[in-house]
């Protein structure tokens, strides 16, 4: 059973994520602001890794005219998204699967938050390319995920800081410290430079860093 199908993990997702991702709600609002720079008032927005529904709800609240498509491989997390959306749910279409399960659009913007760090570099590149072909020319893409130096001492220092933040936010100390080994062992994390290069290789332009919070980084990029 994966963490995204475990009933206890799913039910505590929103609270747990807010404790380990610095400024989570602000990240969602920043992403909405960046998307709105080019997306019109009646935009159609793609959200990859939408399980839980937190960013879907944030975008829908910020932009009453937007319609959203959310994609996630976990049926349990999509059910949580429906609950999170509540009365906003009619403006969102949910799709179980990966990027290949997403409609072709074309979309006026896209977001992929706290998701790409689960994918290998090759999988990320293909995912980004598939997102690009679903976007209108010049449409924005917002991504954010773990991204930090591969240098051992530097990496360990930032992971320790990330764990300290989680502990200060209410995560049990043993659990917070255990996340250091879990991230190193399970996540194919790239450096910030590698992440930016991958966006560029996928075909995106105007790539700018907008979010930097301990081990998490976020970028705004645009399709061609």
DSSP for 44-72? EEEEES-TT-HHHHHHHHH-TT-EEEEEE
Predicted local confidence at residue 12, as pLDDT:
76
**Is 168 within the bounds of a domain?**
no
Task: Give 4-17 pLDDT, tens digit per residue.
Answer: 556 666 767 889 99
**Is 201 within the bounds of a domain?**
yes
pTM: 0.94
**Is 28 within the bounds of a domain?**
yes
CATH code for the domain in which residue 104 is found: 3.40.50.150
**Is 114 within the bounds of a domain?**
yes
- Dihedral sign computed on CA atoms, order 114, 30, 8, 177: positive
Identify which of 95, 55, 102 has the alpha carbon closest to the alpha carbon of residue 74: 95
- Dihedral sign computed on CA atoms, order 131, 132, 133, 136: positive
What φ, ψ does residue 141 adopt, rounded to 5°?
-125, 130
**Is 143 within the bounds of a domain?**
yes
Parent domain of 60: 7-148+189-222
Task: Give 102-151 pLDDT, tens digit per residue.
Answer: 999 999 999 999 999 999 999 999 999 999 999 999 999 999 999 999 99
Structural domains in the chain (count): 1
Predicted local confidence at residue 1, as pLDDT:
39
The per-type count for the chain, helices as H runs and strands as E runs, is 9, 7
**Is 23 within the bounds of a domain?**
yes
**Is 19 within the bounds of a domain?**
yes
Predicted local confidence at residue 14, as pLDDT:
82
Say how far apart CA 77 and CA 9 lie, in whole Å: 10
Predicted local confidence at residue 13, as pLDDT:
83
CB 6 within 8 A of CB 197: no
Phi/psi class of residue 138: alpha, beta or left (left: φ > 0; alpha: ψ in -120 to 50)?
left
Task: Give 158-200 pLDDT, tens digit per residue.
Answer: 999 999 999 999 999 999 999 999 999 999 999 999 999 999 9
Task: Give 40-95 pLDDT, tens digit per residue.
Answer: 999 999 999 999 999 999 999 999 999 999 999 999 999 999 999 999 999 999 99
């Amino acid at each position: 059973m994966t963490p995204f199908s475990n009933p206890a993990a799913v039910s505590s997702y929103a609270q747990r994520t807010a404790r380990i991702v610095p400024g989570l709600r602000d990240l969602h609002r920043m992403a909405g602001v960046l998307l709105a720079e080019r997306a019109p008032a009646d935009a159609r927005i793609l959200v990859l890794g939408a399980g839980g529904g937190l960013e879907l709800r944030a975008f829908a609240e910020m932009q009453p005219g937007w319609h959203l498509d959310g994609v996630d491989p976990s049926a349990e997390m999509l059910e949580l998204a429906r609950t999170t959306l509540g009365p906003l749910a009619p403006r969102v279409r949910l799709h179980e699967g990966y990027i290949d399960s997403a409609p072709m659009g074309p979309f006026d913007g896209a977001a992929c938050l706290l998701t790409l760090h689960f994918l290998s570099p090759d999988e990320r590149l293909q995912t980004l390319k598939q997102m690009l072909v679903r976007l209108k020319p010049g449409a924005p893409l917002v991504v954010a995920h773990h991204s930090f130096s591969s240098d051992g001492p530097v990496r360990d220092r930032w992971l320790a800081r990330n764990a300290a933040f989680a502990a200060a936010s209410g995560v049990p100390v043993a659990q917070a410290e255990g996340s250091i080994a879990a991230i190193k062992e399970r996540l194919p994390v790239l450096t910030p430079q590698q992440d930016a290069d991958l966006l560029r290789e996928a075909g995106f332009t105007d790539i700018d860093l907008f979010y930097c919070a301990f081990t998490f980084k976020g970028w705004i990029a645009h399709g061609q």
